[in-house]
């Protein structure tokens, strides 16, 4: 039982750290893309990062992807940014 509590505590700590890093990542994406991704959202589901929004260029989408991988490369990335 002690091992389970320790693993749970580690996951919760990791989630809190990631949550703080999500805000930094969102600001970084906005800055690097000059705000070209509208309604940008960066979320975590525990073992993955989801970025969503809409943009007019694949370059902005790719830039958001690269910035996310640089920051959270150990997690699964789901890029749901629409390009239209």
Instruction: Provide the total of helices (H) and of strands (E) in the chain, helices listed first.
Output: 2, 3
- pLDDT confidence of residue 20: 81
Residue 47, pLDDT score: 83
| Contact between 28 and 14 (Cβ < 8 Å) | no
CATH number at 65 reads 3.30.1340.30
Cβ–Cβ < 8 Å for 44, 11: no
Quick check: helix, strand or coil at residue 73?
Answer: coil
Q: How many domains does the chain have?
A: 1
Q: How far apart are CA 34 and CA 3, in angstroms?
A: 46
Q: Is the pTM of this model over 0.85?
A: no
Question: From first to last of its 84 residues, what are the pLDDT tens digits of the chain?
Answer: 555 555 565 666 666 566 788 899 999 999 999 999 999 999 988 788 999 999 999 999 999 999 999 998 888 999 999 999
Question: 7: domain range?
Answer: 2-83
pLDDT at position 75? 86
Q: Interhelix angle for 58-72 vs 2-32, to 10°?
A: 150
């Amino acid at each position: 039982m002690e091992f389970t509590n320790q693993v749970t505590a580690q996951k919760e700590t990791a989630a809190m750290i990631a949550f703080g890093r999500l805000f930094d990542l969102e600001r970084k994406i906005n800055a690097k893309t000059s705000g070209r991704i509208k309604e940008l959202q960066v979320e975590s589901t525990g073992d993955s990062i989801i970025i969503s929004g809409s943009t007019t260029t694949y370059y902005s989408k790719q830039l958001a992807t690269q910035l996310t991988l640089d920051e959270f490369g150990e997690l699964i990335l789901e890029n749901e940014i629409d390009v239209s």
